[in-house]
Amino acid sequence: MRKIKTPFTQMLGIDYPIVCAPMFLISNEDMMVAAAEAGGIGCFPALNYRPIENYAQVLKNIRSRTSKPIGVNIIVNKSNTRQREDLKLALDHGVEMFITSLGNPKEVIEEAHKNGAKVFCDVTNIEHGKKVQDLGADGVIAVGAGAGGHAGPISPLVLLPWLKSELKIPILAAGGVSRGSQVLACLALGADGVSVGTRFIASRESPASEDYKQAIVQSSPEDIVLSTKISGTPASVINTDYIKKMGTDLTLPLRLLKDHPRTKRWAVPLIHWLGTRSLEEAAQKPTWKTVWSAGQSVGLVDEILSVAEIYGQLVVEYWQEWERLKGVEG
């Protein structure tokens, strides 16, 4: 298939500017290998593998199965006591790309650059974008409204050109992308690539339960709601019967503990732990606690395909839309 060249693909030495996004509990070894071999790049959260020995083994396994670039997502806030070990192991295995979330990426940037690796940081606004650019980040991931997980509040139609006008580093668009026409649209708005998550939940390599995958296929954008119960920060989930019953807002006691200066330090990790348990129970096995993370792009997912087929579909659709627009009269 015809390549799609951008500053991002040239930076990483890949064929297509499409990242198989890091997804908690979902991104796995098979998905990472398939994304790399398809000409893109996959990134997985280091914390998907516990204990740390399992993480080290997965890095070794991926490296034995593909020589193409791979990525690791590292949570860089203080609650992640494993971040330095996770970073070192990834660097020892020659990981080419890091995505940082929820904290200060300074140490990751400094250490990664010693190995020639690239670091992209999640941002939702100009302030965060400028901060990580000043720290030496190689790029940002613009998390806009409609994304799965911790979605940003700003429409990609505004966020991407806004960041492009102020930053000098590459931008990846995250939120709402599941078709090739959207990849082209993001590049037109100033992005150098896209980060795709929800579409890959409904892949054959995904470890998500069959119920979860079918929910992705059958849901519409209106079925996605923001819940603060998972981590205390608004996160996009499918509005299942369980979510409707439990509500999407933190209970008053937890909200008070989270906001109070004296209790915030331990309340935030507690809230995150409680939400994580619900996700773990629901993601990979049938449970009445159906807490399924997903973005608004569920409305454009029609079937379960392999990771390679999804990449192929995105690229074909991209060039089809490119040709269509060439025929539009000015």
Rounded to an integer, the average pLDDT of 137-144 is: 96
- Please, which residues bridge with residue 192 across strands? none
Strands 171-174 and 193-196: parallel
Across all residues in the chain, what is the average pLDDT?
Answer: 86
Tell me, yes or no, if the pTM score tops 0.85.
yes
* Residue 147 pLDDT exceeds 50: yes
Task: List helix spans (H) across the chain.
Answer: 7-12, 29-37, 52-65, 83-92, 106-114, 126-134, 156-166, 180-188, 198-201, 210-218, 241-246, 252-259, 264-283, 307-326
Domains annotated on the chain, with CATH: 7-207+302-326 (3.20.20.70), 220-293 (no CATH)
pLDDT band at 283 (very low <50, low <70, confident <90, very high): very low
pLDDT value at position 116?
95
pLDDT value at position 149?
77
First and final C-alpha spacing in the chain: 29
* Residues 99, 141 contacting (CB under 8 angstroms): yes
* Residue 207 pLDDT exceeds 90: yes
Q: Which of 14-28, 68-82, 251-265 has the lowest mean pLDDT?
A: 251-265
* Residue 279 pLDDT exceeds 90: no
pLDDT value at position 54?
95
pLDDT value at position 231?
55
Strands 224-227 and 235-238: antiparallel
Q: Which of 58-62, 117-121, 229-233, 282-286 has the lowest mean pLDDT?
A: 282-286
Q: Count CB neighbours of 302 within 10 A.
A: 10
* Residue 222 pLDDT exceeds 60: yes
Dump pLDDT digits (tens) for 52-95: 999 999 999 999 999 999 999 998 877 777 889 999 999 999 99
